Amino acid sequence: MNFAELIGRMGFRDKSVRAFSSLSGISSRFQVPRKVRIVEVGPRDGLQNEKQVIPTDIKIGLVDGLSASGLRSIETTSFVSPKAVPQMGDAAEVMRRINRVPGVSYSALTPNAKGLEAALALNVSEVAVFTAASDSFTQKNIQCSVDESFDRFEAIFSASSRVKVRGYVSCVLGCPYEGVISPQRVVEVTKRLFDKGCYEVSLGDTIGVGTVGSTARLLEECVRSGIDLSRIAVHFHNTYGQALANIFCALQFGVSVVDSSIAGLGGCPYARGASGNVATEDVVYMLNGMGIETGVDLQRLLEAGKYICDHLQRQPSSGVGRALGGKSSQ
Ligand SMILES: [Zn+2]
C-alpha cells in the first residue's frame, strides 16, 4: 500500500493529508526513482562463496522462497566448471527443478561458450558475464587480463540477440591488489560491455570500500561520459558498512536497479576480508521507508532469509533480518 492509499483508507481530511504528503515527499525532495528493480544475487553470488556445499533441494527451496516474496530478478546459478566451483556443480538440476514463476527472470552466470550452451539448453531467462576494472583482479580471479576476458566472452556477446546478456564490472571502487581504481577505467570497461550487446551493466564494489564520495565521483564520470544510468545497476558489498548509504547516493543519480543478497550472503574469496553483499531485507526496508516500489513483500523475504540462515546455522548479516526475523507475520 502506498501513502495515497493509506491516507484514503484512513479517511483523513485535507489538513492531515497535507501533513502526510509532506512526509511522503521524500521521493520528490531527493529525486529518487519511484520504482526500483532488485536483482537478488544470493543463490549465486551468495552461496558460491559459502564453504559448506549446500544441498540442491535447499538451493531450490531458497530460489522458490525468493520468487514467492515478489522478487522479479533472481540470479539463480552459475554454469561454471564444477572443478573450479564445486558449489555450483548442480546448476542444471537447480534450473530444471525450480518453480518457474511467470514474469520472474532467472539468470545464470556463464563464463564461456560451454556455460552459455548449457544455460540456454535449460531455458535461462538471461545470462551474465563477469569482468573487472582491474587486470590484477581478473588475473587472480579468472586467470586472464580484462582484455582477454572480453575475448572469452565473444560467444556470449554474439548470442545477445537470442538472450539478454548482463555485464558485471568488479572492483569499481577499489581493488584488493591495485588499490584505488579510476572512474575513467570503470567507464571504459562499462562502455565496452554495452558496445558488445549487454543490456545492463552492474557496477560492483566487490570489496566494499566505497563511500558516498567515491560512488558519486564514479556516477558523475558515467554521466559525463554519456552512459545511460537507466541501464546501470549498482552492486555494493557492506564490508565497511557503507552499502545502504552508497545505494541511496546512486538512487539520487537516477539508478533504479540494485543488486542485493538475501541475508547478506556471500563475500569474495579473492578479496581478503571482504564481507557479504548488502542484504536484500535491508535494501527493501530502506526503499519501503522512502515510498519506493519494489514489488517485494518484506515478510516473505524475511522468511526466505530465515530459511537459508537456519540451514547455514547462522544469524543473517542483515540488521532488518535480525530485528524482525523472529517475529511472526501476525
Ligand atoms: Zn557481490
218-229 pLDDT per residue, tens: 999 999 999 999
Residue 22's pLDDT is what? Answer: 37
Helices (H), 131-273: 135-142, 146-152, 154-157, 183-195, 212-224, 243-252
Q: Which amino acid is at 167?
A: G
CA atoms within 13 A on the CB side of 82: 6
Protein residues with C-beta less than 5 angstroms from the ion ligand 1: 45, 277
What is the Å distance from ligand 1's center to 152 Cα?
21
What is the Å distance from ligand 1's center to 15 Cα?
46
Residue found under cell 521521493? 27
Q: Which amino acid is at 17?
A: V
- Write down how long the chain is: 330
What is the Å distance from ligand 1's center to 206 Cα?
6
Identify whether the C-beta of residue 63 lies closer than 8 Å to the C-beta of residue 76. Answer: yes
What is the Å distance from ligand 1's center to 268 Cα?
7
256-274 pLDDT per residue, tens: 999 999 999 986 555 555 5
What is the Å distance from ligand 1's center to 141 Cα?
14
Give me the residues of the chain with pLDDT under 70, please: 1-29, 267-275, 326-330
Angle at 222 between CA 218 and CA 280, to 5 degrees: 65
Identify whether the C-beta of residue 12 lies closer than 8 Å to the C-beta of residue 20. Answer: yes
What is the Å distance from ligand 1's center to 169 Cα?
11
Instruction: Give yes or no: 198 in active site.
Output: no
Beta strands in 36-115 (DSSP E): 37-40, 73-78, 105-109
What is the Å distance from ligand 1's center to 267 Cα?
6
What is the Å distance from ligand 1's center to 72 Cα?
18
Selected catalytic residue, list 171, 222, 249, 268: 268
Helical (H) or strand (E) element with 170: strand 164-170
> What angle separates helix 3-10 from helix 14-24, to the nearest 10 degrees?
160
Identify whether the C-beta of residue 164 lies closer than 8 Å to the C-beta of residue 126. Answer: yes
Decide: helix, strand or coil at residue 220: helix
Identify whether the C-beta of residue 70 lies closer than 8 Å to the C-beta of residue 262. Answer: no
